[in-house]
Amino acid sequence: MYQAKDLIHFASSDFGSLHPSTKVIGTDLSPIQPSLVPPNLQFEIDDCCDEWTYAPKTFDFVHVRGLYGCVADWDEFYKRALRHLKPGGYLEQAEISVVPKSQDGSTDGTIFDKWGAVSLKAGDAFGKTLRISEEAKERIIAAGFVDVVERRFKVPIGPWARDPHLKELGRYNRLYWKEGIQGWTMMLLTKILKWKREEVEIYLMEVRQALRNPSYHAYHEFIVVYGRKAPET
């Protein structure tokens, strides 16, 4: 039986259902997992930044998603994943870039530019980088993985795209931003960058206004990197 370790629980149930012959272990810091899960899936409360409690060469596949801003030492994290993968096993990581962009320059000099700069500064000061989506490939290679591949997908922020699929994706992504920005920023900006709460609220008001502006064709990148542990010779 293949063994997979999923370091973010949201994908575990889907993966377990799609691969019934694989034993899947989903981990999270909090006990918020669903009660109805496939029989080949088990959840564990664990911190992936601590030493893993499994024997080396345990897993065929390790999946990581949405851990930007959560890990202080990514180089050690990747070495740990490599150590616990079987020869020929794969690591896959999927992260969202926190830096909004636009192909037509419509966001240049706007609050979206400030959002990217402030977010990166806060993550650096916190000691848990928000740059990992852009840095993952080189770090994974440096850790010793081979055949490393990076794929980048543009995710619109708002329903401005002409393509129907991207328009719908942008609509959902804008909702994700509207509901998430206060939680993403309040601690980092007040505790780490020492902003006053009132300053943060004004800043977030400007971001919300920009999210409603159809002339801003903002997007950010969803970056997927995967690599293989070399077979033993």
Our measurement of the distance from residue 144's CA atom to the centroid of its chain's CA atoms, rounded to an integer in Å, reads: 21
DSSP per position, 101-150: B-SSSTTTTSHHHHHHHHHHHHHHHHTS-S-HHHHHHHHHHHHT-EEEEE
174 closest CA partner among 161, 185, 188: 161
User: What pLDDT score does 131 carry?
Assistant: 97
* Contact indicator for 112, 219 with CB cutoff of 8 Å: no
User: What pLDDT score does 8 carry?
Assistant: 44
Beta bridge mates, 47:
none
Domains of the chain: 47-228 (3.40.50)
pTM (2 d.p.): 0.85
Which residues are within 8 A (CB) of 136 and not within 5 positions of it... i.e. 6 or more apart?
A: 74, 93, 95, 150, 223, 225
**How many residues make up the chain in this entry?**
233
Whether 14 has a pLDDT exceeding 70, the answer reads: no
pLDDT in tens, 177-212: 999 999 999 999 999 999 999 999 999 999 999 999
Whether 102 has a pLDDT exceeding 50, the answer reads: yes
User: What pLDDT score does 30 carry?
Assistant: 64
Interval 75-83 mean pLDDT? 96
Say how many CA atoms lie within 13 Å of 218 toward its Cβ.
28
pLDDT in tens, 47-70: 777 788 888 999 999 999 999 999
pLDDT in tens, 114-171: 999 999 999 999 999 999 999 999 999 999 999 999 999 999 999 999 999 999 999 9
From residue 110, alpha-carbon distances to 24, 88, 129, 218 in Å are 44, 46, 23, 10
Interval 68-90 mean pLDDT? 95
* Contact indicator for 210, 158 with CB cutoff of 8 Å: no
User: What pLDDT score does 199 carry?
Assistant: 98
Which stretch of DSSP H or E encloses residue 91?
strand 85-96
pLDDT in tens, 156-165: 999 999 999 9
Whether 233 has a pLDDT exceeding 60, the answer reads: no
Interval 19-44 mean pLDDT? 68
Whether 29 has a pLDDT exceeding 70, the answer reads: no
Our measurement of the distance from residue 164's CA atom to the centroid of its chain's CA atoms, rounded to an integer in Å, reads: 25
User: What pLDDT score does 48 carry?
Assistant: 74
